[in-house]
Amino acid sequence: MRDKDQIAQVQSTAESWSPQQVLSWAFEAFGNQVAISSALGTGGMVLIDMASHLREEFRVFTLDTEFLFPETYSLIDKIEQKYAIKIERVFPLLSPEEQERVHGAALWIRDPDQCCGLRKVEPLRRKLSELGAWITSIRRDQTSFRKKARKVEWDVKYGLVKVNPIADWTLKRVWRYLIEHDVPYNPLHDQNYPSIGCTHCTRAVRPGEDERAGRWPGTGKTECGLHIIEIDPLRRLPEADA
């Protein structure tokens, strides 16, 4: 099921599927070649919990920039215990010290795009090169870049299938699931951090701000680059690209 034409066939049908149906399809179609990609935010926790009810074994990976909050590292331990899984931690090629030596101090302030490129995008690309599909928790209501996300789509940027089971969910619905199913989550969410990334680039949001306002505050940056431009719904793909 790696052919774009085959994906095109399921794409519109998948839009009416529940997240569990989307996940089941992905597990069935890709087996060990599909993994949940998660920064272990609220949406990712929903997917991990759902997956645990569908399969005994499933793959989850996270991009460990080595700049994560202590609370995030504790959550990784908690998830591994509760769900009896081993989260695959994907590290950048350069340690923080090496990055400073090569690119100078505090790259995240001077050039956050380059920093995210080194610590997130390259590791993600490396990880995805070993997979046939990846599962993300992106939602259409999160940013303007994510509005066009389909539940099943061909990822032009990375050249594999991208699965977004909760693309049509709202943050409220995500929270309802977490509470109703007693799913563990990052305690920083209770301290006004709706979206949590690296310590250097995440702050609490103020009342009235949107859920990603605390990411790269003051820079105009809203995405780390992982989900930008690769989303090109199949119906709009040029023939030559098929």
CB 194 within 8 Å of CB 211: yes
Interface characters, 46-75, with ligand SF4 (x: CB under 6 A) = -------------------x-x--------
Q: Give the binding range for ligand SF4 (CB under 6 A) out of 142-150, 157-165, 194-202, 226-234.
A: 194-202
CA distances for 90 relative to 16, 82, 226, 227, angstroms: 33, 21, 14, 17
- Pick the binder of ligand SF4 from 27, 108, 134, 154 (CB under 6 A): 108
| Calpha distance 234→144 (Å, rounded) | 19
CA distance 186 to 193: 9
Task: Decide if 116 is catalytic.
Answer: no
Binding mask 124-163 for ligand SF4 (x = CB under 6 A): ----------------------------------------
How far is CA 101 from each of CA 95, 108, 116, 119, 163, rounded to the nearest angstrom? 10, 14, 17, 15, 38
Residue from 198, 226, 231, 234 that binds ligand SF4 (CB under 6 A)? 198
Size of the site for ligand SF4 (CB under 6 A): 13
Look at residues 229, 52, 80 and name the one whose alpha carbon lies nearest to residue 157: 229
Pick from 44, 60, 120, 155: which binds ligand SF4 (CB under 6 A)?
Answer: 120
- Given the rule CB under 6 A, which of 45-53, 115-123, 144-152, 226-234 is the region that contacts ligand SF4? 115-123
Q: Is 174 in the site for ligand SF4 (CB under 6 A)?
A: no
- Is residue 39 a contact residue for ligand SF4 (CB under 6 A)? no
Residue 168 beta carbon to ligand SF4: minimum distance, rounded to whole angstroms: 27
The nearest distance, CB 225 to ligand SF4, in angstroms, is 9
User: Whose structure tokens read 């060990």?
Assistant: 32
Q: Which residue has the tokens 């789509």?
A: 153
How far apart CA 209 and CA 222 sit, in angstroms, is 13
**CA–CA gap between residue 120 and residue 117 (Å, rounded):** 6
Residues that bind ligand SF4 (CB under 6 A): 65, 67, 108, 112, 115-116, 119-120, 197-198, 200-201, 224
